[in-house]
Amino acid sequence: MTATETQQTSLSDYVRSAAQAYSGKELRARFGPSALKRAVARGELVRVHPDVYAPSGHENAFDVRAKAASLWAGAPVAGLAALFLWGLIEEPPQSIEVVLAQDEKPRRRDGVRVRRLKVPVPHTIRNGIPVVTPAAAVVLGYGCLPKKDRSSVFYAALGRRLAGVRQFEALLDALPKVKGRRSLERSVRAAASGARSYLEERALYKVFNTQEFSRFVRQHEVVIEGNQYFLDMFDPVTRTALELDGRLGHINEYRQRNIERDCWVATLGIQTLRFSYQDLMERPEWCRQVVREVLAVRTEQQRTARQRT
């Protein structure tokens, strides 16, 4: 905003133009101390934190609370609040977490949780709010999530390409004392091996985890008629693919898509075996036995075909 525009725009008009938090320092520099005092006295601005203000009626909005906490602390938003800002959880938390260096002064206030770390974490700006990067949001917020939601948030960050495995590895190396670390490390190792969902992680560690399945390649890419497909698990020896269907696999839209995909993949001589979420969770030995028998049959078919030639 230029000096001329500042003169033509009143503080009242300025704060009405966007529902967000403002620092008192910024408002005094633009409009003068008297204008700020009058706006507060008229009820146009509400003091949210020391020298941090918000337009009256908007002070409880999540984005306003998040930016106000960041302005007060002079630090980026982290934890569950950061996960919400990145769209990785659906419900905004009541408390806003900010992350500071250990020797910085701000203490906890109502509605704000201060986390102190020995090392800085990467951050950026999202929707005008300083916030830690998606990978840092997951690492710092992971242990605050219900256990049933943790892996899905991690894999959502990967699937949406908000973060990569190397970023998680680097942050875990730098932050040895994060809640839920062991579980998160297990997911990161699974993702490094090709897993792209909790179900694939379970298949890696609990279902197809024995030596007999070690030759399977995870997330093997094939291109057919210009269409790109990634096979959850692929045995290049017998040309057998395993698909691990999540809870949406039975819905007609997904089912039709999977049928078409399996047909195209079959044109490459690849047989697809699909396992449901229920199968993988409740009867892993049955899943293993089916794959063993199919591999044995396809191996024999290949041997017979070679003899004939």
What's the mean pLDDT in 291-300?
A: 95
Q: Please report the pLDDT score of residue 6 as a whole number.
A: 46
166: helix, strand or coil: helix
Confidence of residue 3 (pLDDT cuts 50, 70, 90): very low
Question: Where does 128-271 have alpha helices with state H?
Answer: 134-141, 147-159, 165-174, 181-192, 198-202, 252-266
Architecture, CATH, for domain 199-308: 3-Layer(aba) Sandwich (3.40)
Interacting residues of 9 by C-beta distance below 8 A, sequence separation 6+? 1
Query: pLDDT at residue 62 above 50?
Result: yes
What residue spans in the chain does CATH classification 3.40.960.10 cover?
199-308
Q: Which two tokens stand for residue 84?
A: 């919400």
Cα separation, 113 vs 165, in Å, equals 28
Cα torsion 33, 39, 42, 46 to 10°: value is: -110
pLDDT tens per residue, range 8-32: 478 888 888 778 999 999 999 999 9
Residues 6+ apart with CB under 8 A from 199: 244, 245, 246, 277, 280
Confidence at residue 249, expressed as pLDDT on a 0 to 100 scale:
45
pLDDT at 2 over 80: no
Whole-number pLDDT of residue 308: 83
Phi, psi angle pair for 90, to nearest 5°: -90, -30
- Gap between the Cα atoms of 119 and 268, Å rounded: 51
Taking alpha carbons only, the member of 83, 125, 86, 118 closest to residue 99 is 118
Sequence-distant (6+) residues with CB within 8 A of 205 are: 186, 190
Whether 5 has a pLDDT exceeding 70, the answer reads no
What does the block give as tokens for 74? 């002079």
Query: What pairing do the DSSP bridges indicate for beta strands 77-78 and 123-126?
Result: unpaired
pLDDT score of 247: 58
Residue 140: partners with Cβ closer than 8 Å, 6 or more residues away: 78, 79, 82, 97, 99, 115, 121, 132, 175, 178
pLDDT bracket for residue 292 (50, 70, 90): very high
Q: Does the pLDDT at position 4 exceed 50?
A: no
